[in-house]
């Protein structure tokens, strides 16, 4: 598939709005082509893309996790590459990604302080997940065990990037970000456990799991443009209607309403640009219960959307934190969370390998989506592959797995293994943000602060 | 910083913190439960310690001597089912379903998610699209739109348009429009009509359905003439509260009329309306939603079992198990209107053919889709929902049981206690130690007792969990585990028990069970955790519950007229 890159910069509202107030209007709509014009003057291939690929339950444990687990890790360390530096030799579990020359960082761990009493905060599922995603610890308040109300203190990296002034500037894509999911299994029935992206505390962004829903969001162009314009105008009335209420609220209630209204303005902006989709629209997708097959479908749609500029930020949750997904297809009888904790090393190895194969399918699609200049989405992208802890056997956050795929327009070195045992995990965040052109003197919070990036990986 | 529903323990919710973890500073567990597990006396009204990690409430807030003071208001967003109920109420049945953001349920309840979780951008987009689709579906259908509007608008802004918007607005906002609001939506109906008054109304309806006044329940109160220190909810706000509690949806016209007449400021007026609502079929559905959340039944939806290992576990089994609990709840509330705590001890249940087979009971007339009431044998192993398929299955693993999960459910759901999460960097593998000769799940778990890191909590969780060991991962009775005889002895707070029937007997007289129901209902009804200052009202409610022989409908009526349900504090930073 190939896609012509173009930007949808022109609001139809400026063209049509004057017509709304009047009586009978017979205004010919300008041809869409004229409204979109040429691809914007700058070099679109210079715009970087940021993506997150998330898989659950870390990697099989090994001696690097800091405990003597020799008898329980019959295959030894199948994650950490045996050589460091450029053109490293891939480990067995990283072999599926080798074709895309991914870089990896090993040995890193969260440095955030664990409050006492820790109230669940030292739990790898939560601590590792949140530090990897936000550079900060989980919100200490409100966590209690029956509900496991897991939430963050600040946006996850994808949402931080998507709303950063230095990333989109004044011309955000039609979608600032897309949050996609594959497995629908979750550790709890609680919404917070089935999302990896957050815009802030208590603000999970639910992943889209359905290929049909994703396709509709991205590629279904409403035919009645006049009605679209009226929907845009209607939102002005809704916003005005909310004003009186806003003034009566305090604290969190006010913040919740304001977030709602901010989202509504974003929806309004998107409706205004709603005819902006790709020139070449992919075929309507099927679906599959198999995780790799569904990844294939979702990643194909995502790559098309990235290639034609519908968004430049995504999160891709293959499986959710502490997933209970039962990998029947691999002969694993119990949910993954359980087999990790039961110390069933071989099961964890085969599941992790399977999850890496899914990661590779995503990267295949990003590499295959190429613009007319021959630049692929993966060339422009920085894809952060991440899980919640080093391994599940002891909930250990030592030796967090970190994959950085893509060239980020030349800002990232590909095929490099950075190793620093006990190093600060937030160096990953600094690396990514700097690669994306976002000024980042330091990153990390509550003890996780660092000014350093991963030397050797940041070009 | 987000204001959480604060964990005022409010008497019934007990942290077992200090019993589980040695390193908790005293401030975090104070008097709450240091001896809870040892004595079973875990529920004294002075147990007001904040759980670890919450904004510590000062103890004096919750001293029993302090008078009741209301909590600040919250702003619930309609849950998915409440939204759908409201749409059906406003626009009629049979409209296409539209995707909406899934609810969250912190502390078990969707209503708490509705007051604490922020909506995402996609969620707002889905509201916009739903409003567009639904209004279009209604107004593209001439019969439907005339039925809705009740008159034929001749021109944008005419009397028909104005009259409809006023009536529709009262139902949508659950109070009359202000003059400004009526003007706003009339203007929209004019401006977006493009000369077609029907089209204009369609857009006005689409706008109203996106308004926060529709999507959120605004219950901020008004000055209370009887008490200047607090606010009372307006009649309109009370109508909303009562209907969302009893119907899980918006008030009907009669209830709004009662609000408009001032009837809902009096106990008699409130009770009359609440009784009317309780007699409506909508109340049955709403109460089932509460019980499904309180008993955490949604987890059943995620249960999988390998059919080759568990041939009895059909694809319909989890649905059958859930239906069984619903029928039992319905029976105790509506048919017999009796002590709701029998849920945990009654030998009565309802089975279809596959459940009868699972339980090995005779059930004449049962079929795959027909449930019949049965009385479990007096000398059998089962009594109460903790011996039924739903609980036993969703708290077990695919291949082995989980006394830990079952014990934890008992502690957390039935007794409203808090078990702290396991500490970090703990070895969770109990099974692969070569030197261990454990053969049964029970023997493996007994490793917990040997490790002091684990023993604190697991000595509270596992012993009652062992009582269910006669039931396997799908709730079938068994006498062997891994080929070895079952030992289902255990204890609850050091009272020795043998098997789940013993536990059912113990729960019959355990005061924590009823108190927990009161607290869970209060959380569901208010969409938040109780503040310590509300404790006197909760205690009064519990006393009334006891006096009413623990009949659940009476508890609902007592709650509706309770001052805690009718008053709020002023928002501090509005």
| Interchain contact, A142 vs B4, CB within 8 Å | yes
Question: Residue B442's pLDDT is what?
Answer: 87
**Residue A29 in tokens:** 């709509």
Please classify residue A265 by burial: count the beta carbons closer than 10 Å to its beta carbon, then call 0-12 exposed, 13-18 middle and 19+ buried: middle
DSSP structure string for A12-60: HHHHHHHHHSSSS--PPPPPHHHHH-SSPSS-GGGS-EEEEEE-SS---
- For chain A, the average pLDDT equals 85
Same domain, A353 and A288: yes
Is residue A446 in a domain?
A: no
Domain closes at, from A274, A294, A315: A274
Residue A386 lies inside a defined structural domain of this protein: yes
Q: What is the pLDDT of residue B354?
A: 97
Q: Residue B486 falls within a domain, yes or no?
A: yes
Is A142's CB within 8 Å of B25's CB? no
B210 contacts A253? CB cut-off 8 A: no
- Total of domains in chain B: 3
Considering CB atoms only, which of B121, B420, B429 is closest to A263? B121
Q: Which residue of B has its CA nearest to A151?
A: B117
Residues of chain A with C-beta less than 8 angstroms from the C-beta of B432:
72, 342-343
Q: Which residue of B has its CA nearest to A228?
A: B132
Residue B228 has what pLDDT?
A: 93
- List, in order, residues 6 or more apart from B412 with CB less than 8 Å away: A145, A146, B418, B419
Question: Which residues in chain B have Cβ-Cβ distances shorter than 8 Å to A114?
Answer: 424
For the stretch B97-151, pLDDT in tens is: 899 999 988 888 999 999 999 999 999 999 999 999 999 999 999 999 999 999 9
* Closest CA of chain B from A291, distance in Å: 17
Q: Which of B25, B178, B185, B212 to mutate to test the interface with A (most CBs of A within 10 A)?
A: B212
Considering only CB atoms, which chain A residues are within 8 Å of B72?
A: 250-251
One domain for residues B322 and B388: yes
Whether A4 and A60 map to the same domain: the answer is no
Is residue B94 one of the residues assigned to a domain?
Answer: yes
- Under an 8 A CB cutoff, do B207 and A238 touch? yes
Least CA distance to A232: which residue of chain B? B128
Q: Is residue A454 part of a domain?
A: no
Hey, CA dihedral for B457, B460, B464, B469, is it positive or negative? positive
- A138 and A54 within one domain: yes
Cα–chain-centroid distance for residue B238? 20
Lowest mean per-residue pLDDT among A16-30, A237-251, A283-297, A414-428 = A16-30
B504/B444 same-domain check: yes
Tell how far CA B132 is from the center of its chain.
Answer: 31
The band of A393, judged by pLDDT with boundaries at 50, 70 and 90, is confident
B128 shares a domain with B52: no
List the CATH number of the domain containing A180: 3.40.720
Report the residue of chain A nearest B405, measured CA to CA: A146
- Residues spanned by the domain of A156: 49-219+281-435
| Residue B445 lies inside a defined structural domain of this protein | yes
- Within 8 A of B210 by CB-CB distance, chain A residues are 234-235, 238, 264
Residue range(s) defining the domain that contains residue B342? 297-424+436-508
> Mutual orientation of helices A225-246 and B197-208 as an angle, nearest 10°?
40
The complex scores an ipTM of 0.87
What's residue B574's pLDDT? 66
Q: B498 - beta bridge partners?
A: B489
> Are B33 and B85 contained in the same domain?
no
Q: Is A441 a domain residue?
A: no
Residue finishing a domain among A230, A247, A274 = A274
- From the list B271, B367, B287, the residue with the least C-alpha distance to B326 is B287
Residues A274-323 have pLDDT tens digits of: 556 687 888 999 999 999 999 999 999 999 999 999 999 999 999 998 88
Chain B residues with CB under 8 Å of A201 CB are 1-2
pLDDT under 50 in chain B at which residues? 1-15, 17-62, 431-436
Q: Nearest C-alpha of chain A: how many angstroms from B162?
A: 17
Question: Does A23 score more than 50 pLDDT?
Answer: no
Burial class from Cβ neighbours inside 10 Å (0-12, 13-18, 19+) for residue A442 reads middle
pLDDT in tens, A164-200: 999 999 889 999 999 999 999 887 766 567 789 999 9
Residues 190-249 of B with CB under 8 A from A: 191-192, 194-195, 203, 206-207, 210-213, 215-216, 218, 220
pTM for the structure as a whole: 0.88
Tell whether the model's pLDDT for residue A24 goes beyond 90: no
Q: Which residues of B touch A320 (CB under 8 A)?
A: none
Suggest the residue from A143, A232, A243 to mutate for an interface test with chain B (most B CBs closer than 10 A).
A143
**Residue at A459 is within a domain:** no
Residue of B nearest to A268 (CA): B125
Shared domain for A265 and A153, answered yes or no, is no
Q: Are residues A206 and A226 in the same domain?
A: no
Dist. CA A279–CA A263, nearest whole Å: 27
Q: Do A206 and B102 touch (CB under 8 A)?
A: yes
CB A381 within 8 A of CB A306: yes
Predicted confidence at residue B13, as pLDDT, reads: 41
Residue A455 resides in a domain: no
Residue A190 has what DSSP assignment?
S
- What are the DSSP calls for B276-327, one per residue? HHHTSHHHHHHHHHHHHHHTTGGGGGG----TTT-TT--TTHHHHHHHHHHH
Q: Residue A108: CB partners within 8 Å, gap ≥ 6?
A: A399, A400, A402, A420, A423, A424, A425, A427, A428
Could you tell me if B436 lies within 8 Å of chain A, comparing CB atoms? no
CA–CA distance, B154 with A325 (Å, rounded to integer): 59
Give B380 to chain A, closest Cα distance, Å.
Answer: 31
Can you give the pLDDT at residue A13? 45
User: Is residue A208 domain-shared with residue A293, that is, in the same domain?
Assistant: yes
CA distance A102 to A366: 13
- How many domains does chain A divide into? 2
Last residue of a domain, one of A274, A289, A305: A274
Same-domain pairing of A234 and A308: no
- Answer for the pair A438, A75: CB distance below 8 angstroms, yes or no: no
Q: Is A445 a domain residue?
A: no
Do A327 and A306 share a structural domain? Answer: yes
Q: How many CB atoms lie within 10 A of CB B330?
A: 16
> Does B6 reside within a domain?
no
């Amino acid at each position: 598939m190939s896609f012509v890159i173009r930007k949808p910069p022109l609001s139809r509202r400026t063209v049509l709005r004057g017509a709304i107030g009047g009586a009978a209007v017979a205004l010919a709509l300008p041809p869409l082509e004229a409204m979109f014009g040429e691809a914007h003057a700058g070099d679109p291939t210079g715009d970087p893309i940021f993506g997150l690929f998330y898989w659950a339950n870390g990697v099989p444990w090994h001696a690097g996790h800091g405990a003597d687990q020799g008898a329980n890790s019959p295959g030894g360390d199948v994650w950490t590459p045996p050589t460091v530096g450029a053109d490293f030799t891939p480990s067995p579990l990283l072999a599926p990604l080798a074709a895309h020359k991914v870089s990896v960082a090993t040995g890193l761990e969260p440095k955030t302080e664990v409050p006492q009493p820790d109230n669940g905060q030292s739990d790898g599922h939560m601590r590792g997940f949140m530090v990897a995603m936000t550079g900060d610890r989980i919100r200490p308040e409100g966590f209690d065990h029956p509900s496991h109300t897991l939430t963050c203190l600040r946006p996850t990296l994808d949402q931080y990037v998507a709303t950063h002034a230095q990333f989109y500037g004044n011309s955000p894509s039609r979608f600032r970000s897309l949050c996609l999911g594959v497995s629908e299994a979750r550790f709890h029935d609680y919404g917070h456990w089935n999302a990896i992206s957050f815009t802030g505390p208590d603000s999970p962004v639910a992943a889209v799991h359905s290929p049909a829903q994703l396709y509709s969001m991205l590629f279904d162009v409403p035919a009645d443009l006049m009605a679209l314009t009226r929907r845009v105008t209607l939102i002005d009335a809704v916003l005005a209607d909310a004003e009186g209420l806003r003034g009566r609220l305090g604290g969190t209630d006010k913040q919740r309403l304001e977030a709602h209204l901010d989202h509504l303005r974003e929806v309004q902006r998107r409706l205004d640009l709603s005819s902006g989709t790709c020139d070449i629209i992919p075929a309507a997708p099927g679906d599959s219960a198999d995780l790799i097959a569904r990844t294939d479908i979702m990643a194909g749609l995502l790559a098309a959307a990235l290639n034609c500029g519908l968004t430049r930020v995504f999160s891709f949750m293959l499986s959710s934190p502490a997933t209970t997904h039962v990998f029947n297809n691999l002969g694993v009888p119990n949910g993954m969370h359980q087999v990790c904790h039961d110390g069933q090393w071989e099961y964890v190895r085969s599941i992790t390998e399977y999850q890496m194969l899914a990661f590779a399918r995503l990267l295949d699609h990003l590499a295959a989506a190429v613009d007319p200049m021959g630049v692929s989405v993966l060339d422009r992208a920085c894809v952060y592959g991440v899980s919640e802890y080093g391994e599940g056997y002891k909930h250990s956050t030592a030796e967090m797995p970190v994959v950085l795929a893509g060239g980020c327009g030349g800002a990232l070195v590909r095929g490099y293994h950075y190793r620093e045992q006990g190093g600060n995990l937030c160096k990953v965040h600094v690396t990514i943000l700097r690669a994306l052109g976002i000024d980042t003197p330091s990153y990390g919070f509550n003890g996780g602060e660092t000014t350093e990036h991963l030397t050797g990986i940041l070009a | 910083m987000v204001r959480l529903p604060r964990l005022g323990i409010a008497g019934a919710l007990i942290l077992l913190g200090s019993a589980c973890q040695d390193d908790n500073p005293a401030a975090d567990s104070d008097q709450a439960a240091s001896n809870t597990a040892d004595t079973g006396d875990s529920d004294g009204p002075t147990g007001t310690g904040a759980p670890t990690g919450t904004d510590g409430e000062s103890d004096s807030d919750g001293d029993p001597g302090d008078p009741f003071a209301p909590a600040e208001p919250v702003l619930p967003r309609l849950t998915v089912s409440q939204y759908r109920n409201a749409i059906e109420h406003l626009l009629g049945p049979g409209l296409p379903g539209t995707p909406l953001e899934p609810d969250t349920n912190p502390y078990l309840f969707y209503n708490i998610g509705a007051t604490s979780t922020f909506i995402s951008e996609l969620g707002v987009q889905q509201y916009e699209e739903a409003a567009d689709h639904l209004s279009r579906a209604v107004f593209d259908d001439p019969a439907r739109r005339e039925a809705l509007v009740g008159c034929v608008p001749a021109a944008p802004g005419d009397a028909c348009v104005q009259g409809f918007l006023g009536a529709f607005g009262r139902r949508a906002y659950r109070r009359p429009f202000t003059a400004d609001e009526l003007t706003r939506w009339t203007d929209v109906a004019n401006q977006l009509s493009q000369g077609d008054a029907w089209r204009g109304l369609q857009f006005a309806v689409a706008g109203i359905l996106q308004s926060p006044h529709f999507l959120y329940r605004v219950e901020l109160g008004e000055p209370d003439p009887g008490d200047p220190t607090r606010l009372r909810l307006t009649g309109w706000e009370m109508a909303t509260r009562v209907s969302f509690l009893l119907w899980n949806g918006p008030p009907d016209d009669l209830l709004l009329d009662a609000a408009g007449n001032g009837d809902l400021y009096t106990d008699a007026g409130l009770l009359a309306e609440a009784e009317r609502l309780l007699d409506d079929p909508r109340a049955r559905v709403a109460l089932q939603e509460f019980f499904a959340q309180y008993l955490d039944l949604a987890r059943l939806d995620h249960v999988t079992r390998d059919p080759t290992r568990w041939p009895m576990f059909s694809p319909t089994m989890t649905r059958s198990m859930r239906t069984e609990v619903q029928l039992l709840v319905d029976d105790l509330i509506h048919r017999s209107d009796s002590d709701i705590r029998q849920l945990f001890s009654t030998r009565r249940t309802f089975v279809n053919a596959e459940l009868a087979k699972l339980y090995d009971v005779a059930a004449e007339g049962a079929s795959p889709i027909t449930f019949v009431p049965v009385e479990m044998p007096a000398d059998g192993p089962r009594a109460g929902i903790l011996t039924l398929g739903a609980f036993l299955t969703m708290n077990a693993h695919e291949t082995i049981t989980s006394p830990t999960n079952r014990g934890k459910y008992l502690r957390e759901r039935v007794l409203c206690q808090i078990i702290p999460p396991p500490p970090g960097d703990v070895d969770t593998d109990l099974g692969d130690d070569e030197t261990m000769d454990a053969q049964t799940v029970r023997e493996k778990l007994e490793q917990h007792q040997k490790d002091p890191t684990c023993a604190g909590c697991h000595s509270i969780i596992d012993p009652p969990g062992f009582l269910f060991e006669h039931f396997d991962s799908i709730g079938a009775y068994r006498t062997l585990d891994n080929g070895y005889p079952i030992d289902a002895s255990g204890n609850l707070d050091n009272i020795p028990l043998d098997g789940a029937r013993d536990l059912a007997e113990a729960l019959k007289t355990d005061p924590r069970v009823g108190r927990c129901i009161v607290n869970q209902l209060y959380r569901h009804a208010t969409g938040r955790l109780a503040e310590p200052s509300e404790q006197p009202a909760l205690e009064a409610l519990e006393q009334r519950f006891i006096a009413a022989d623990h009949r659940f409908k009476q508890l609902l009526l007592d709650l509706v007229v309770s001052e805690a349900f009718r008053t709020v504090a002023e928002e501090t930073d509005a």
